[in-house]
Every structure is written in C-alpha cells, then in structure tokens.
C-alpha cells in the first residue's frame, strides 16, 4: 500500500498515502481539500492558489476532529 521511499526524495506523504493510512488506522475518509488545509496550517504548502477567490478562506475547511488524524500521519513520516 505505502511504498518505501528514501528520505532524500521526499518526506511529505502523498495525498493517496495519507487517505489510505487514515482509512486503515482510523476507519474514516478524508478529502484532498482537507489534507491541503492541514498542510497549509502546518506550513507544508506553497501557499494559497491563485484561483482561490478569497485567499484567507477555504471553501471546504478540514473538520476539527480530523485535523489530528492528518497531522498524526504527516508526523509519522517526519515531515513536520
């Protein structure tokens, strides 16, 4: 399911890896936009996209109860 990746290539897991691990460990589904929201909160994104109408606000923010799941998976990959 999750490929072994050397630390030199990348530290941040892909969206599919995060979704798969959360489904496996916690039995719930997360949307890509929720993962992007948490990555932006953690400082792992390149910033707000140009197409966003309001740069300060997301259309679909991550629910607070799922933030801890996503952060746990990112931390387990030592990206934070």
Answer whether residue 6 is part of any domain: no
Alpha-carbon span 55 to 67, nearest angstrom: 20
pLDDT the model gives residue 7: 45
Q: How many domains are there within the chain?
A: 1
pTM of the predicted model, to two decimals? 0.77
Helices (H), 3-56: 15-26, 32-41
pLDDT the model gives residue 27: 96
Tokens standing for 74? Answer: 């990112």
pLDDT digits (tens, 9 = 90+) for 20-66: 999 999 999 999 999 999 998 888 877 767 777 777 788 889 999 99
pLDDT band at 4 (very low <50, low <70, confident <90, very high): low
The residue range of the domain holding 65 is 15-48+55-76
């Amino acid at each position: 399911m999750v490929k072994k990746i050397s630390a030199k290539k990348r530290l941040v897991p892909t969206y599919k890896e995060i979704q798969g691990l959360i489904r496996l460990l916690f039995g719930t589904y997360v949307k890509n936009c929720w993962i992007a929201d948490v990555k932006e909160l953690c400082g792992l994104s390149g910033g707000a996209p140009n197409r966003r109408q309001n740069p300060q606000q997301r259309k679909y923010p991550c629910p607070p109860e799922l933030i801890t799941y996503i952060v746990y998976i990112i931390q387990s990959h030592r990206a934070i």
